[in-house]
Structure 1
């Protein structure tokens, strides 16, 4: 116990978490964020996991089906204990594994590969599952953004990032800001846990790093009484997701025109929030904070975590722009085909046949 007490004293040293010449006793008289409160994120995270399960499995599937979204999955792979054991051991099929299994089971390599494709597709969530996940996230981020705006709207530092440093660390934390930060931290913990349990997707590590980094920022801000900074980060991120999830839902429900309209709107909101507002906060941490407070290790760690998120934002922005470019190009192609079909109705028979042949080749 004495070793743990010594470690705690070193870890929670005021030199790490507070500006120089400031001690924990100096801010004891104000209502500040205390590290012992972080224990509440554990039961709240479990509550989020339970509520997500109930909402996604009981409440949202009927809504998705009413939109015409089906839960039908691909053809299941034939039961095979040997292949199943190999699949569980290694999700990705290697050439050496394929050759060995083909010899052991007296099957062709192509049969092994086909079974593997079916088995991987069997693990992937159905369109209805993806709809339920997006709908749940939309529900949460909408409520979180509304609550965050209500809490922060009348705060001067919500409109001027520089003012978050005024008077630090002697800034009292009201209950609204406390709950906004606690709920968000609990949700990031819940998302991290469920992501480890869900099927891994191609962007698994990017999302995992994002969730862990966001949770780390919350914990660091909690430890050094910088929940004002954390709240600005949360609002910037939550508002973006309000436009992301409807775009996904429109895609799942095959509302193509709606999705075509939402995608550019989401792209603009993403760029404004993630590549304009968020870097403005990073700028405040790097250049404005030193003018009002003496820099300390925890603040340097927060800035580094911000930079990690910014790198992820840039990578995802490139992907979003690629998707938007593809969507616009496909839309233009469809408009050209539609115009061609109208012209071909009044053309001569041979020209109409040529147009139809060209259209069939394009569709294939």
Structure 2
């Protein structure tokens, strides 16, 4: 074990040439990031989970009810032992041949059986009230952490001149507010991992789990080797659009059509401008070129930049999806059916209709996520938007 730890914490991988871990020990003159600081995120994540429960019960739920969002879930299928056995033991999505066989066996028409399976699949789907409360919690956190990041960054020199991310690197003291910013972001993603096992399980469980794991890994990576200055820029840049997406989802759940449209447009503009404009010209420019001039490359520098480049590829793909969906929504708008979120499936819900009238409507917007679990490379993406066409 000692040999494994020594290999993992090899200074020649983590730190620039001629820098050792002893050089970065905190002293009375200045505090530097320490790996053991990251343990603070675990108890804080539990506190965030508790805060979420209180928030959703006493704040989000009353707000949802005041907006007349119903607490009832999808219509439940009537009990039927034969269909239940097929559903649990054979398939949740029977093909045409099986449907015809069940129709003859039960003397039901095929459409009724299809509806039964659709309703049965929806038994464990969250209600609109549940989804609204979850989105309101995420909206509140994302708005708070983005506001905090802006207030913090406007006071530091590296926001206005990114070369300050690398001057005197890695001997850059860690201010208490920067430490708080990092630990709270990290704790929030730990809380998302924990809550996945208690929340209603959705079809993207594995993808979101990988996304949150990768986010945590990259936050920890940049903290350990003291790349926290540029890390704060990346976090704040990605946080800029997350709360807008959650706000659009809440407006959609509350059936505020015009507000939903406006928020989606703003989200799309902010997302594309930050991910395709600011990210490469501001973030990648400083991590790849300015750092090369001031600090020079070393092993963990290559890894960090590789991950950021892969993230840029994901940004391009996600922006393409958003633009394509927006164009289709605009095309529908010409016929009086403009609603960008109606050309999207909720990435976390996979909602299916429980009645004929609902068959043609998909409720909810994309999310957190936003995009991305393939975000395995995105250590700072606060959300993940998985966009699917209607």
What are the Cα deviations for residues 71-119 of structure 1, in whole angstroms up to 9, with x where unaligned? 23221123467766775678853659958x959x878894665433212
Structure 1 vs Structure 2 CA RMSD: 3.1
The structure number with the bigger radius of gyration is 1
Q: What secondary structure is seen at the aligned counterpart in 2 of 1:123?
A: coil
Kept after mapping to 1: 8 A contact 2:132/2:250: yes
Mapping for residues 1-364 of structure 1, pairs under 5 Å = 4-28=1-25, 29=27, 30-79=30-79, 93=93, 95=95, 110=110, 113-201=114-202, 207-279=208-280, 280-334=282-336
How many residues align? The count is: 333
- Call closer, same or farther: CA 1:333–1:142 in 2, change over 3 Å: same
Kept after mapping to 2: 8 A contact 1:56/1:136: yes
Question: Matched residues in 1 for 2:91 and 2:179: separation?
Answer: 42
Question: Matched residues in 1 for 2:33 and 2:87: separation?
Answer: 47
Q: What secondary structure is seen at the aligned counterpart in 2 of 1:60?
A: helix
TM-score by length of 1: 0.80
The structure richer in helix per residue is: 1
Deviation at 1:36, TM superposition (A): 0.7
Which stretch of the first structure deviates more once superposed, 116-125 or 247-256?
A: 116-125
What are the Cα deviations for residues 200-223 of structure 1, in whole angstroms up to 9, with x where unaligned? 556555544443332222110111
Q: What secondary structure is seen at the aligned counterpart in 1 of 2:213?
A: helix
- Call closer, same or farther: CA 1:90–1:136 in 2, change over 3 Å: farther
- Call closer, same or farther: CA 1:98–1:41 in 2, change over 3 Å: farther
Question: Matched residues in 2 for 1:109 and 1:293: separation?
Answer: 72
What are the Cα deviations for residues 34-81 of structure 1, in whole angstroms up to 9, with x where unaligned? 001111111111222222122223321110121122223221123467
Question: Matched residues in 2 for 1:179 and 1:90: separation?
Answer: 51
Which stretch of the first structure deviates more once superposed, 145-154 or 195-204?
A: 195-204
- Call closer, same or farther: CA 1:86–1:166 in 2, change over 3 Å: farther
Kept after mapping to 2: 8 A contact 1:98/1:109: no
TM-score by length of 2: 0.76
What are the Cα deviations for residues 100-144 of structure 1, in whole angstroms up to 9, with x where unaligned? x959x8788946654332122222222211211111111111111
Deviation at 1:232, TM superposition (A): 1.0
Question: Matched residues in 2 for 1:106 and 1:155: separation?
Answer: 71
What are the Cα deviations for residues 212-250 of structure 1, in whole angstroms up to 9, with x where unaligned? 332222110111011112211111111211222221111
Deviation at 1:155, TM superposition (A): 0.8
- Call closer, same or farther: CA 1:147–1:186 in 2, change over 3 Å: same
Question: Matched residues in 2 for 1:15 and 1:145: separation?
Answer: 34
Which stretch of the first structure deviates more once superposed, 89-98 or 33-42?
A: 89-98
Which stretch of the first structure deviates more once superposed, 214-223 or 325-334?
A: 325-334
- Call closer, same or farther: CA 1:21–1:87 in 2, change over 3 Å: farther
- Call closer, same or farther: CA 1:213–1:98 in 2, change over 3 Å: farther
Deviation at 1:315, TM superposition (A): 2.9
Q: What secondary structure is seen at the aligned counterpart in 1 of 2:295?
A: coil
Unaligned runs of 5+ residues in structure 2 are: 339-390
Question: Matched residues in 2 for 1:197 and 1:304: separation?
Answer: 34
